[in-house]
Amino acid sequence: MAIIRTIDVEKTYQDNGVPVRALRGVSMTVDSGEFTVIAGPSGSGKTTLLNIIGALDKPTGGEVFLEETDLSTLKRTELSDLRLNKIGFVFQAYNLIPVLSALENVEFTMMLSNVPEKERHDRAMQILDELGIAELADKRPNEMSGGQQQRVAVARAIVNNPSLVLADEPTANLDSATGAELLNLMEQMNRERNITFIFSSHDPQVIERAHRLLTLKDGKIVEDTRGSA
């Protein structure tokens, strides 16, 4: 079953009054449970496409469907609810809230979803334990390494049981060993929870883990290959 479908998606930005076409007629389908990497050189449109899939940005033209929902038909509040309940995000810069502990950062999205306090705490502790970082529950981001912060970010992304996790250059600020550990973790979540992952990355170790690789160049998909994983 398709979880994401884009049809002729276009995105044009204005750069000092000059139009820049970031995406040029991108059509793609990602099925539920896939572990997909969108690759390509800097400026190829990877992050733009990821932001449009995640309803963080709107296309200039074309259509985007999450499951059977046409994102263009949703109001701003409906898009917020969709991002909160259906999509998890993992960013290059972690984006943890500095004044909150690891536990509180993971609880935060559930608080926005009005999950009762005890359930929030129990679910957050369970996912921290599952990811091997329960001992960090009371630590704030400035007391953690980059790899630990990114694991907390993954915990926050999946604790609401989203259908889809979007990861934008998640290994960019990590050394190769820590990046490999993070990818092992995401592959485990993909297998055990059937969470669909879509990455944007030009990191070779992310690309070689791809079960499916979409290559972008100048805002177009130029190759769609499937790995042996």
Among 90, 94, 221, 96, smallest CA distance to 168 is for 90
Domains along the sequence of the chain with CATH: 2-226 (3.40.50.300)
What string of DSSP letters covers 202-225?
--HHHHTT-SEEEEEETTEEEEEE
pLDDT at 228: 52
Which amino acid belongs to residue 88? G
Regions of the chain with pLDDT less than 70: 227-229
- Is the entire prediction scored with pTM above 0.85? yes
Order of all β-strands in the sheet with 18-31? 18-31, 2-15, 61-66, 69-70
Among 107, 117, 118, 120, smallest CA distance to 155 is for 107
The two beta strands, 212-217 and 35-39, are parallel
